[in-house]
């Protein structure tokens, strides 16, 4: 029976039955004309989610980490300098990936719970008169800390410094859930995956690639074969794939895009914000605090929540699973043992969110947390009762 319970981790997310059924298709010939009819519209419609008209959507059979690797190997050369800030586990992992590829990685250390430091980026970019920095890497939504950064401010820093560096953005836990504006923000490579906002199984890295980034591939000398932008783009242009595609995931993407675009992207974003606000109301009622330092940093897809002194967040998450068959996110990196995470993205409603809040409240009560059982659920109920789908107060 435990398979009937939703998960409240920040990905992989709950898969709607409609999408599970869409992926449950028999193998067909990916070199037949009907694959062309599937592939091209999926790639074109995915551009709407990235909010790009000039970029190219490129996919690889991989998770988001494969997308990170593709971003750097297709655009950079050995020894190139890249600038990145470390403010969570996933920005840390991107740093590690760049270092393993022998790039010259300049790291700006930030407190976990803060966001991308656009002001510090601006200082460094203005000082880089020789334009040695070839790429600036930013995590849009830091899944470990529940922090959403201002990518528009980062683009402003680049433009104000008149700096030509490429802008790479990890939007794995934000795309298709939080507003993302690839063209407006001048993003050169945006990296996402199938298993979060798209509500599918893990296995497809989904990238938005600018014309500037595609042009950079001609001069880049880092080795790549499986993750080659040019091979993929050339094959896709004629409706093909350079090797065996994840066919079932493409059928899933077709159904996912139909769901997202049918709901309307602005409605999708509003739904996520409303659910997140209810979760944040519950956290406040519990007397606990978010890892995100200020409200402007609050993520609408995941909340990282500090546990009180003397308690272990990993014990709490394990107990919720053992006692109630419900999964929440453990603390990662510096947050291990200090914070747990509630994922509230993808296939989720306010009613489902309430079930997760009730479950974690029971788990906290079992472990003698100083939390009044029912307080968080009641706070979220009041918010959901009094607001409409856009988080606006209902008419009396």
Q: Can you give the chain as a three-state secondary structure string?
A: CHHHCCCECCCCCCCCHHHHHHHCCCCCCCCCHHHHHHHHHHHHHHHHHHCCCCCEEEEECCCHHHHHHHHHHCCCCCCCEEEEEECCHHHHHHHHHHHHCCCEEEEEECCECECCCHHHHHHHHHHCCCCCEEEEEEECEECCCCEECCHHHHHHHHHHCCCCCEEEEECCCCCCCCCCCCCCCCCCEEEEECCCCCCCCCCCEEEEECHHHHHHCCCCCCCCCCCCHHHHHHHHHCCCCCCCCCHHHHHHHHHHHHHHHHHCHHHHHHHHHHHHHHHHHHHHHHCCCECCCCHHHECCCEEEEECCCCCCHHHHHHHHHHHHCCCEECCCHHHCCCEEEEECCCCCCHHHHHHHHHHHHHHHHHCCCCCCCCHHHHHHHHHHHHECCCCCECCC
CB 200 within 8 A of CB 194: yes
Task: Bin 309: left if φ > 0, else alpha if -120 < ψ < 50, else beta.
Answer: beta
Report strand pairing: 147-148 vs 141-142. antiparallel
The DSSP symbol for 15 reads: P
CA–CA distance, 171 with 167 (Å, rounded to integer): 12
pTM of the model: 0.95
Q: How confident is the model at residue 395 (pLDDT cuts 50, 70, 90)?
A: low
| pLDDT(1) > 70 | no
Tokens at 94, concatenated: 């991107």
Q: What is the pLDDT of residues 307-342, one digit of tens each?
A: 999 999 999 999 999 999 999 999 999 999 999 999
Output the CATH code of domain 17-261: 3.40.640.10
| pLDDT(8) > 90 | yes
Residue found by looking up tokens 């909010």 in the block: 51
Report strand pairing: 141-142 vs 56-60. unpaired
CA–CA distance, 236 with 31 (Å, rounded to integer): 12
Share of the chain above pLDDT 90, in %: 94
Q: What is the DSSP string of 336-395?
A: TTTEEEEE--SS--HHHHHHHHHHHHHHHHHTT-S--TTHHHHHHHHHHHHB-TTSPBPP
What are the sequence ranges of the domains in the chain? Answer: 2-12+265-386, 17-261
Instruction: Calculate mean pLDDT across residues 120-130.
Output: 98
Give me the pLDDT at residue 393, please.
73
Q: What is the pLDDT of residues 40-53, one digit of tens each?
A: 999 999 999 999 99
CA–CA distance, 326 with 357 (Å, rounded to integer): 11
The sign of the torsion formed by the CA atoms of 89, 90, 91, 92 equals positive
Output the CATH code of domain 2-12+265-386: 3.90.1150.10
Residue found by looking up tokens 């606990």 in the block: 288
Q: How confident is the model at residue 389 (pLDDT cuts 50, 70, 90)?
A: confident
CB 143 within 8 A of CB 88: yes
CB 357 within 8 A of CB 365: no
Q: What's the distance, CA 77 to chain centroid?
A: 27
Give me the pLDDT at residue 31, please.
87
Give me the pLDDT at residue 34, please.
86
Q: How confident is the model at residue 2 (pLDDT cuts 50, 70, 90)?
A: low
Half-sphere exposure at residue 187, Cβ-oriented, CA atoms within 13 angstroms: 32
Tokens at 38, concatenated: 């599937």
**Is the fold of 2-12+265-386 the same as that of 17-261?**
no
Q: What is the pLDDT of residues 183-202, one digit of tens each?
A: 999 999 999 999 999 999 99
Instruction: Calculate mean pLDDT across residues 340-352.
Output: 97
């Amino acid at each position: 029976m435990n398979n009937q319970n939703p998960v409240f981790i920040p990905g992989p997310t709950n898969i709607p039955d409609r999408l599970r059924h869409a992926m449950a298709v028999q193998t067909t010939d990916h070199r037949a004309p009907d694959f062309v009819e599937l592939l091209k519209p999926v790639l074109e419609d995915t551009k709407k989610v990235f909010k790009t008209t000039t970029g190219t959507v490129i996919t690889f059979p991989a998770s988001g980490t494969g997308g990170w690797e593709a971003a750097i190997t297709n655009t950079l050369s050995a020894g190139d300098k890249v600038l990145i800030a470390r403010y969570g586990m996933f920005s840390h992992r991107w740093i590690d990936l760049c270092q393993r590829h022998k790039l010259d990685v300049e790291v700006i250390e930030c407190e976990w719970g803060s966001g991308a430091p656009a002001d510090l980026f601006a200082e460094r970019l203005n000082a880089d008169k020789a334009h040695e920095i070839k790429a600036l890497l930013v995590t849009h939504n830091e899944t470990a800390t529940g922090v959403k950064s201002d990518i528009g401010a980062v683009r402003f820093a680049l433009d104000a410094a008149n700096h030509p560096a490429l802008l790479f953005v990890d939007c794995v836990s934000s795309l298709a859930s939080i507003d993302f504006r690839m063209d407006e923000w001048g993003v050169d490579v945006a990296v996402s995956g199938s298993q979060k906002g798209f509500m599918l199984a893990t296995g497809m890295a989904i990238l938005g690639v600018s014309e500037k980034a595609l042009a950079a591939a001609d001069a880049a000398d880092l080795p790549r074969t499986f993750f080659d932008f040019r091979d993929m783009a050339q094959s896709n242009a004629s409706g093909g794939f350079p090797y065996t595609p994840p066919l079932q995931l493409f059928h899933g993407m077709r159904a996912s895009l139909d769901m997202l675009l049918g709901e309307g992207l602005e409605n999708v974003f509003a739904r996520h914000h409303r659910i997140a606000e209810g979760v944040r109301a519950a956290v406040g009622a519990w007397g606990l605090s978010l890892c995100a330092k200020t409200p402007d940093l609050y993520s609408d897809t995941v909340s990282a929540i500090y546990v009180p002194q003397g308690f272990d967040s990993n014990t709490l998450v394990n107990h919720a699973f053992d006692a109630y068959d419900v999964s929440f996110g453990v603390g990662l990196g510096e947050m291990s043992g200090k914070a747990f995470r509630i994922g509230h993205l993808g296939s989720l409603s306010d009613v489902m969110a309430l079930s997760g809040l009730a479950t974690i409240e029971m788990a906290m009560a079992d472990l003698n947390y100083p939390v009044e059982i029912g307080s968080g659920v009641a706070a979220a109920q009041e918010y959901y009762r009094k607001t409409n789908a856009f988080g606006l107060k209902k008419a009396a």
